[in-house]
A and B are shown apart, each in its own frame.
Chain A
């Protein structure tokens, strides 16, 4: 700690420093400033303190203190959630967990890794590789946290095969807002058993999708999977959303792919055009890639055979589907994960500049076409590219529908333009039955407007039970 800070240290900071050590606690404005914004349209707000915890006990102590003083606590790992979720709505303590970055165990026999919240995708990828294991990496920054992605219902490169990142969770250890240490899943019954959240009551649900408002996850068990050596990527294009949806629907029924994704022409550009430019008339509206991994060439060929059958079936129906070449750089960025190039936001933001937000949703696949049509009108109306992605989830016919919207964050008017367009898109999707993930407060309010009163009552009651003083990331649930 700097001498000047030490001399006039406020008593609360002194208490925090007493817990985590003076070099891990700060109220210096420049330190707080670096946590006041992210890449989204959410307006910057400063925390009052920043604290880096290194142990579970420190997290407990910090939460006890904050709870006693009724001071907000915002859990943070890398701040890349694209929803302003670590921007403090009401000040308080920014609890940075990046130093808790141990991979506690990789149990090859159980297919489970136990990690601390600061473990990054890149770090885990480097550790799993030599063991012949893999995980469904997102197309986000390699330096972002695996556990934050999982507890936020993140989306990764094996969604079509294993489900969402949160479905990979096998157990967890959590510090409650009141400071108690609790466990959910098998590790709650036998402390070294991290293999499953089932068949117990799914208490892990109290901490997934809650945006850091119910506790601080300090250890997470996740499934990791064997990595087959042979990758085959099926690439097709379509001129209409309906045709693309029909192809993805058909292919997903065979359950042979790790990821079945389609991206609109604007999203397949490197980078996404900003502002909007029209698509060349001869370019397809949609490009799709679907990844499939095999242990042998024979297995790969069998998978190819199924895919060829799907393509033939769709074409027979008169679809605009064509087997085609996916733009090389974009394809690498989407299949060589974690990807530094895509994670660096280059493919998304290089032209727009500093800002990116999304209406990122889980939407019934049958609604993709009507929602996309409306999104396109709205986004083009705001001079923004309709850079949309659709991905089919495991064994179901709903999936990710998301528009990645870059904007020039240096300019407040352009930022506001993007915000308005995105919120408008979100309303359209909500009204069609879609639900946004990692929702910024603007979205949370829209969700709550439409929510069943019983749901809201239950949500508030659970939150009140876990966090009686509303200290955990307050405001993020839209109330």
Chain B
């Protein structure tokens, strides 16, 4: 299986499209009324131009390519002080726009190839991936700990390796291993049971999707995991009848949707298999009238868009052959695949819920601060940034913040704690599980 993963050098032309205009610093909307807030977590915390948005990261990339900068400790730190959230990308209007996160990750890949990256704390993750196939140094048997209550209640979850099912619930490492985030697979499985869905999980046989490795610049480790997963998905389709892979993890979803397609064998491996995030899956059921909602939640709720199922799913149109503008010109963006409306519609559908919007939302959502290896590399900052996001939620008068990503869930909870806020943090599935009645 071949992989088309760019090197920094491949992106040099795009790196030279940046004018250093600094538009990527703020989420600004003309309105009227005009709104303006910072968009870059790294710029907000560290402030130097190099830390600031794509403007800064592209400066580093130029310096590395022209030989001015070497991967010393200080540069490495600043390359990894970025959540790869894409907030800056949403603001930029030039031809390199579609490639901005790619440039950031290619810089990390170069650091890893040079033997310098990732950061020491990240190396624990990549070592763990190699030994345990998950970034949390979790023995594989612990992967199913969260399923015990189901077994106990006489509703065991199918092991898809042993029993066929049309739906694979791909849990993801954070949901399986992070104590706090376990609420998410638990609520997802509970919902699926209530809806009478025939589904199974990989259990101890689940491997990390490889997102962590990719975000940290370890392309080799990513390829190893992604290749195994693609082969497994094909096998599950052929032998166990899997036609749909549902995941509640924004990171896994992003990886399978956007990183796996870099494989030359993607179409073949995924033939007949649809990958879908729970937000979309449940939204479709809702649209079809198959998601009964009973009782109510008297709550004022706001929604935090995770980067990975939001703007990361942008589809950029680039003039590949120069037939429209010129070769490589950025032509436009489609947000059709970004899961912006689905979670909002579901939240609004819950009886009693009063939905309020934060100022920075959808493409301009302010990242929780947990992505791109930041939670591991710079835990303090990640939580501090999440505190800023919680603060923004508080400004709306909301008592709860919902999201659709175990990473955001964990980090936002840390943020709320850090600023001693009463804001309750939920995953969408946790809320739905409370109002979908048992059959």
Contact = CB atoms under 8 A, between A and B. Distances in A.
A349 interface: yes
Contacts of B330: 350
Given A4-B73, A31-B78, A142-B36, A79 B19 contact: no
B74 interface: yes
A337 B307 CA distance: 28
A349 B25 CA distance: 18
Contact of A143 (B22, B30, B56, B69): B22
Contacts of B75: 28-30
B17 interface: yes
Contact of B33 (A2, A3, A126, A337): A126
A467 B334 CA distance: 54
A5 B74 contact: yes
Contact of A354 (B19, B23, B29): B19
A126 B19 contact: no
A148 to B, nearest CB: 12
A38 B49 CA distance: 12
A35 B48 CA distance: 9
Interface string B2-17: 0000000000110011
A35 B69 CA distance: 14
A152 to B, nearest CB: 16
Contacts of B34: 122, 125-126, 129, 338
Interface in B32-53: 32-36, 46-50, 52
Contacts of B29: 340
Contacts of B326: 351
B93 A33 contact: no
Given A30-B75, A338-B30, A350-B93, A39 B20 contact: yes
A336 interface: yes
A99 interface: yes
A344 B63 contact: no
Contacts of B35: 126
Nearest to B28: A122
Size class of the contact patch on chain A: 35 or more
Nearest to B13: A410
A75 interface: no
Interface string A56-93: 00000000000000000000001110000000000000
Contacts of B56: 34
Nearest to B69: A30
Interface in A121-165: 122-123, 125-126, 129-130, 141-144
Nearest to B63: A33
Contact of B22 (A52, A80, A123, A126): A80
A142 B25 CA distance: 9
Interface in B74-110: 74-75, 77-78, 91-95
A349 B19 contact: yes
Contact of B21 (A80, A120, A125): A80
B74 A4 contact: yes
A409 to B, nearest CB: 7
B395 interface: no
A337 B34 CA distance: 10
B18 interface: yes
B322 interface: no
B87 to A, nearest CB: 13
A34 B31 contact: no
Contacts of A2: 73-74, 77
A122 B47 contact: no
A24 interface: yes
A33 B69 CA distance: 8
B345 to A, nearest CB: 28
A22 interface: no
B391 to A, nearest CB: 17
Given A120-B36, A129-B31, A129-B34, A344 B16 contact: no
A446 B159 CA distance: 79
B303 interface: no
A30 B49 contact: no
Nearest to A26: B48
A430 B35 CA distance: 41
A414 B77 CA distance: 35
A341 B97 CA distance: 13
B30 to A, nearest CB: 5
A476 interface: no
Interface in A1-32: 2-5, 23-24, 26, 28-31
A153 B50 CA distance: 28
Nearest to B53: A143
B234 to A, nearest CB: 42
Nearest to A54: B47
A229 to B, nearest CB: 10
Contact of A356 (B19, B55, B69): B19
A37 B18 CA distance: 12
A341 B94 CA distance: 10
Given A23-B46, A31-B50, A336-B30, A350 B73 contact: no
Nearest to B49: A34
Nearest to B16: A410
Given A3-B73, A141-B22, A143-B23, A354 B17 contact: yes
B288 interface: no
B72 A4 contact: yes
B33 A354 contact: no
A39 B55 CA distance: 11
B68 A31 contact: no
B66 to A, nearest CB: 9
Given A33-B50, A129-B33, A142-B28, A340 B93 contact: yes
A37 B91 contact: no
B395 to A, nearest CB: 14
A34 B28 contact: no
B112 interface: no
A29 B69 contact: yes
A39 B56 CA distance: 14
Given A30-B78, A346-B94, A350-B95, A96 B21 contact: no
Given A29-B69, A125-B36, A126-B33, A120 B74 contact: no
B93 A96 contact: no
9 contacts: A5-B73, A78-B25, A96-B48, A340-B29, A340-B91, A344-B91, A344-B92, A408-B16, A409-B16
Given A5-B74, A29-B72, A96-B48, 8 more contacts: A24-B47, A28-B75, A34-B55, A98-B47, A126-B28, A143-B28, A338-B30, A345-B23
Q: Which 7 pairs show the lowest CB-CB distances between chains A and B?
A: A410-B16, A346-B93, A34-B50, A34-B59, A122-B36, A344-B23, A129-B33
